[in-house]
Structures are given as C-alpha cells and as structure tokens.
C-alpha cells in the first residue's frame, strides 16, 4: 500500500512532507508550498470515486463550498484541508441560504448519482445504491427504507410487528410525503460531523453521499444529530426557499433511512428510534 505522502505528491504534483495520521483511514499531509491536503483511504471499491464525484457535483452548483479535489483512484482521495474556526449564527444563516441554492440546482432524477459517480455508492460505512426512480415516495421506499429494514430484520434488530409498522408507512408514503417536489441535489449524509465551520466564516461540506432526492431529507439529517445554530440555518434556508407546509411533521419520515442504516451498523438502539419515527407517522 502506498504511503499517504506519496499519494499526496502523486495527485498534487508537489513534494509532500511527512504525513500526520488522524485515523486509520485519514491523514493530513503538508506540501512544500505551505498548503496542507487531506489524504483518505477507502477500503470499499468505488467509495473514493463516489466521494470525489459527489464533491465535484456539489461544488459545481456554485452554492455551497466544498474542499477542492486534487485527485483520486479506486482507493485514495486527496482534497484540500479546511482551516476550521468557531461556528457563528451569521455563518449558519448564510449556510442555510447556500443549502437552499444547492438543492435548487437539482438532479436528473430521484436516486440519480453525481456525474461520474458509481451506482454502488456509500453512506458513511454502509452501502447505498443510486438507482433512479420516477417519484419520491416509491423510490424512497424501494431503494432507501426497505433494503435496510430487511437487513435490520435479518440481523434480529427489529421484530416482526415493528417491520409491519415501517412497511405500512412505506405504503402510505404518497399520502404522508407532502406536495410533490422536483429532485433536489442532496449532500445525502448531512450530519454535523460533515459540516465544517471555516476559519473564514464560511461553511464547507465534506464526505457526501450525494444523489438526487427530496430536499427535506438533508434538513431532517441535520436535525437528527443536531448542529450548531440550527435555528439560524433553517431561517436562512426558509428565507431563500420556503418549505412546504407541514415539513416539521415529516422530519421523522425522512429520518427513517439514516436511522435504519445506523441500526444495521450500531445496533438495536437505533432500530428502536426508527420504529418510533415510523409510528409517529401512523398516529
């Protein structure tokens, strides 16, 4: 396996100084021009390709900021490092408007992969298939919720009665999902850890699971694990692109997929949250 410093040099064309490991898969590497890049190793085939394509697609909207991609291959990705600073209400409000503009940039279809991105992608440590669909309710049920519900059931993480409740929500999705909307350009894994507050007062997004989806999904993901100045983010978003009435009531619906993914990865506690989210839509 090549050393991260060698990978950084390959994709930047600069001489790299000693890499500084941050985790088993991530290192920051200073370059001879004084800049610093992040070098990420992906074990899963296609993961680096998907992340690179996602970052370029998000950045190409001219709305949100993302780190520049220097290059990638099947298992390595090299991007700029983001110099981080404190979160602020002003930055959050601006980010809300930028996120609305990103979503408005659109996608060819629900489930569409970024240009050059693979069909078999990832959301964090889990597989995620980018399969285009014609309408959001049926696509979301078939390609997001139900595959992970089956995995959770097979692993003994959800009980038969609980499976029935989630399946019932999937059947009712056309009535529960609110007014029809066009496919939005989603980050796809928009939890707080993937929102970096830049030292310059601008937000950058990293580690996307980008695809065409419903814009409320990104906002529901932000609410799932919390984010600094979330109220200011939402205010900025709604000033730029008001959400359909009832969107707050639909948050648990959009959280079903990430909760089931977390259940498969991390256990029964998240399965219980997914079931509770489903049952909140049946009340």
**Catalytic residue ranges:** 189
Cβ atoms within 10 Å, residue 34: 7
Phi, psi dihedral angles at 212 (to 5 degrees): -80, 130
**3-class DSSP assignment, residue 25:** coil
Residues counted in the chain: 283
Residue from 25, 224, 211 nearest 123 by CA: 211
Share in percent of the chain as helix, strand, coil (round to 5): 50, 15, 35
Q: What would the two tokens of residue 242 be?
A: 């008001």
DSSP state letter for 15:
-
* CB of 45 closer than 8 Å to CB of 106: no
Q: Are strands 203-205 and 195-197 parallel, antiparallel or unpaired?
A: antiparallel
Using alpha carbons, list the distances in angstroms from residue 227 to 108, 129, 223.
29, 27, 7
């Amino acid at each position: 396996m090549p050393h991260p410093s060698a990978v950084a040099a390959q994709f930047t064309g600069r001489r790299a100084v000693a890499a500084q490991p941050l985790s088993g898969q991530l290192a920051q590497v200073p370059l001879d021009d004084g800049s610093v890049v992040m070098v990420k190793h992906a074990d899963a085939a296609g993961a680096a390709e998907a992340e690179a394509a996602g970052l370029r697609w998000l950045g190409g909207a001219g709305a949100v900021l993302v780190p520049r991609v220097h290059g990638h291959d099947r298992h390595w990705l090299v991007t700029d490092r983001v110099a981080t600073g404190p979160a602020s209400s002003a930055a959050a409000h601006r980010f809300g408007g930028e996120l609305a503009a990103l979503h408005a940039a659109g996608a060819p279809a629900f489930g569409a992969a970024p240009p050059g991105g693979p069909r078999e992608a990832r959301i964090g440590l889990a597989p995620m298939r980018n399969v285009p669909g014609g309408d959001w309710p049926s696509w979301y049920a078939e390609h997001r919720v139900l595959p992970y519900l089956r995995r959770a059931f097979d692993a003994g993480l959800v009980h038969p009665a609980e499976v029935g409740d989630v399946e019932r929500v999937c059947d009712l999705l056309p009535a529960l999902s609110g007014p029809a909307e066009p496919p939005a350009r989603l980050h796809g894994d928009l939890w707080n850890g993937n929102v970096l507050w830049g030292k310059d007062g601008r937000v950058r997004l990293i580690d996307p699971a980008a695809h065409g989806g419903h814009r409320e999904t990104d906002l529901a993901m932000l609410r799932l694990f919390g984010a600094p100045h979330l109220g200011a983010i939402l205010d900025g978003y709604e000033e730029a692109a008001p959400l359909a009435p009832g969107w707050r009531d639909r948050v648990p619906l959009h959280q079903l997929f990430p909760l089931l993914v977390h259940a498969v990865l991390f256990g029964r506690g998240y399965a219980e949250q997914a079931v509770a989210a489903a049952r909140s839509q049946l009340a």
